[in-house]
Structure 1
Amino acid sequence: MEATSSGRRSKQIRAKKRIEQLKAFYIHLAVFIIVNIIVIAGAVSGNMNNGQSFGEAFFNFNTFSTFIFWGIGVLFHGFKVFSYNPFFSKAWEERQIQKYMDADRDEMKKYS
């Protein structure tokens, strides 16, 4: 009975941690969207006040630089939260673990 209770408690803790990660990501995404709308609107407005047309003001790298660089951060945050890793997948981790276990086993055979 105690093992079941302990296992359930462990699952509950992991689920709570997962919910906290998701919540943090969605808050990060919402702040990203809201702040970037304000920053882009301010940049376009400021550029237009400096004599640029709407097209020139809008299609300026400086207008979107915050969006681009912060967006990269949001993207990686999303990768982490949703367990997407194109470089170090679970299969890669398992191969590495197996490789080191095999090397350790071979090393131990030398001494037996």
Structure 2
Amino acid sequence: MEPSSLGRRSKQVRAKKRIEQLKGFYIHLVVFVLVNIMIITGAVIGNMNNGESFVDSFFNFNTFSTFIFWGIGVIFHGFKVFSYNPFFSKAWEERQIQKYMDADKNEMKKYS
């Protein structure tokens, strides 16, 4: 194989992997929305059948607990797929690399 075809193949593999990640995230998001609509609807109707008002049953923590905790998971999934990392940014990585390079340079100066 020619080098250009290897590069093209590599790009194609990376693009396919990226599409699979995006597709996985969007499927996760759709399932999250649909399932939570059903859970919230069922919880509100069930609470109303037990004598609570609509407002009391809707603004109950138990009604939204699955939505909240699963939502945290969806957010982190999105961070991963869209390469967003608020804690370990590129600038942080560069500072850490520079720190270790400086430490190595200082260590080498001890022995010269």
**1:41 matched to which residue of 2?**
41
**1:78 matched to which residue of 2?**
78
- Residues 39-79 of structure 1, C-alpha deviation per residue, up to 9 Å, x if partnerless? 00110011001000111111111000000110011011111
Instruction: Find the aligned partners of 2:67 and 2:3 in 1 and give their Cα distance.
Output: 49
Instruction: Find the aligned partners of 1:90 and 1:36 in 2 and give their Cα distance.
Output: 35
Please give the TM-score of this superposition, normalised by the length of structure 2. 0.91
Deviation at 1:109, TM superposition (A): 3.9
Q: Which runs of 5+ in 2 are unaligned?
A: none
Please give the TM-score of this superposition, normalised by the length of structure 1. 0.91
The 3 A distance-change label for structure 1 pair 89 and 61 is: same
**2:54 matched to which residue of 1?**
54
Please provide the CA RMSD for this pair.
1.5
How many percent identity over aligned positions?
A: 83
**1:30 matched to which residue of 2?**
30
